[in-house]
């Protein structure tokens, strides 16, 4: 089966929004494609002395609202269309959160698990040397993403600073705390999603104490979603999965015990006192809240009719296909779209930029407080737009975000 093209999906979503908004045709055409694409070849000296050439990208989608912002992914199956789609979604995400930023994304085709620490550092520094002229605190600010982390961001920031001849901590976010990173960044994506779920549960009159959760994916976002579901909501998590499969216990799962089991065995499956289930079975469980937090396109037209959750909170990027979106909306399932639900990460990255610029660093309670306010404001803006236009939450989020970018383009005289 051919995998859907994520960039085509992002264009379809924009096209649908453009009709509802009666968007100016010229603005629509500009927003359908990236503003700038950078393709680079990256020669890296390997540990055995040979030279290997990696391919990398940086897509700067739109900077009408400010410098572009977005992560850098290291993945063996990275494609230019995936990066284009993610850059588009970052544009809408930043606009939806009303951040003074545009959207970007970067990627390198590689398997970081096969690289030594020295090779990984060489690759990271070579990438920054190749795109140096196109990034900067007032141009484009990268961040970590799939298979990249704070250490890789530290190398990249250091390489940029060496070329600039001065410390430029603000060129990268997601850095270690000791190098200008922000407290509260590690759990920001999961925390932001839980803040929104908290409001959605109120809106749909779900009994918080009796509510049940299923979490598909147990990486950073999935783990923190589980941890905070228990810590902040006190709700019961009955199912958790990773790439190898899932586990189920109707009496509830302890997120820390599941994490420890995964650390020891490499997967959540086969955990004592649980029943092994497939990822597909997890998606179709009779739970109140389903949190897809890993893969793209895992809810499609084939399984959407079987989704029983009252709320689907998309912590993953693009987990629901357009066809499935329509089915879930017709079923009355409240879908919190990805670029709203997982916007906590970029929001705290923006906080990191603010702290770097002012050379004044906040306490964690302040980060959490401001994040909570921004996430909840964004949720109700989208919810009210959904009710006003009688459209799905995803379409409503697009209406808000695209409208803000279009306004910025008009005010700047681009059209």
Does 105 qualify as catalytic in the annotation?
A: yes
Phi-psi region of 174 (alpha: psi -120 to 50; beta: other; left: phi over 0): left
CA 79/CA 296 separation, integer angstroms: 14
* CA-based torsion, 155, 161, 162, 163: positive or negative: positive
The residues near 138 (Cβ < 8 Å, ≥ 6 apart) are 67
Closest CA to 144 of 372, 349, 380, 364: 349
Angle at 278 between CA 275 and CA 281, to 5 degrees: 95
Instruction: Name the 3-class secondary structure at 170.
Output: helix
CA distances from 105 to 74, 82, 248, 259 (A): 12, 9, 35, 29
The residues near 122 (Cβ < 8 Å, ≥ 6 apart) are 44, 45
Instruction: Name the 3-class secondary structure at 414.
Output: coil
Q: Which residues of 365-390 are buried (b: 16+ CB within 10 A; e: fewer)?
A: eebbebbbebbeebbebbbebbeeee
From the candidates 93, 105, 262, 310, give the one annotated as an active-site residue.
105
Instruction: Name the 3-class secondary structure at 78.
Output: coil
CA 115/CA 54 separation, integer angstroms: 12
Angle at 232 between CA 231 and CA 237, to 5 degrees: 65
**Which stretches does DSSP call E strand in 46-168?**
51-62, 68-75, 102-109, 140-144
The H or E element that residue 373 is part of is helix 364-389
**Hey, which residues are catalytic here?**
105
């Amino acid at each position: 089966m051919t995998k859907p093209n994520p960039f085509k999906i992002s264009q379809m979503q924009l096209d649908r929004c453009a009709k509802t908004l009666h968007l100016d045709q010229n603005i629509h055409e500009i927003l359908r494609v990236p503003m700038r694409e950078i393709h680079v070849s990256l020669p890296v000296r390997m540990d055995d002395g040979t030279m290997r050439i990696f391919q990398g990208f940086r897509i700067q989608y739109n900077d009408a609202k400010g410098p572009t912002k977005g992560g850098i992914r290291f993945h063996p199956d990275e494609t230019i269309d995936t990066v284009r789609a993610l850059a588009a979604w970052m544009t809408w995400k930043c606009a939806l959160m009303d951040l003074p930023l545009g959207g970007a994304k970067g990627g390198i085709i590689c398997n970081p698990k096969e690289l030594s620490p020295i090779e990984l550092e060489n690759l990271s520094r070579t990438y920054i040397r190749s795109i140096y002229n196109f990034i900067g605190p007032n141009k484009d600010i990268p961040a970590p993403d799939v298979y990249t982390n704070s250490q890789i961001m530290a190398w990249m920031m250091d390489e940029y600073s060496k070329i600039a001849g001065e410390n430029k901590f603000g060129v990268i976010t997601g850095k270690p705390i000791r190098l200008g990173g922000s407290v509260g960044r590690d759990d920001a994506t999961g925390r932001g999603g839980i803040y929104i779920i908290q409001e959605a549960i109120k809106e749909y009159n779900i009994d918080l104490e009796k509510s049940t959760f299923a979490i598909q994916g147990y990486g950073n976002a999935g783990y923190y979603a589980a941890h905070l579901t228990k810590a902040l909501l006190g709700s019961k998590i009955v199912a958790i999965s990773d790439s190898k499969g899932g586990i189920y216990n109707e009496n509830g799962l302890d997120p820390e015990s599941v994490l420890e089991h995964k650390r020891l065995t490499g997967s959540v499956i086969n955990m004592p006192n649980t029943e092994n289930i497939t990822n597909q079975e997890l998606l179709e469980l009779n739970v109140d809240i389903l949190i897809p937090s890993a893969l793209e396109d895992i809810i499609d037209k084939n399984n959407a009719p079987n989704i029983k959750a009252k709320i689907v909170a998309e912590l993953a990027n693009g987990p629901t296909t357009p066809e499935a979106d329509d089915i879930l909306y017709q079923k009355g399932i409240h879908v919190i779209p990805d670029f709203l639900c997982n916007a906590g990460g970029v929001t705290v990255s923006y906080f990191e930029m603010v702290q770097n610029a002012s050379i004044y660093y906040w306490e964690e309670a302040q980060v959490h407080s401001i994040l909570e306010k921004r996430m909840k404001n964004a949720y109700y803006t989208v919810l009210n737009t959904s009710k006003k236009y009688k459209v799905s939450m995803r379409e409503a989020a697009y209406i808000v975000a695209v409208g803000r970018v279009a306004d910025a383009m008009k005010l700047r005289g681009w059209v």
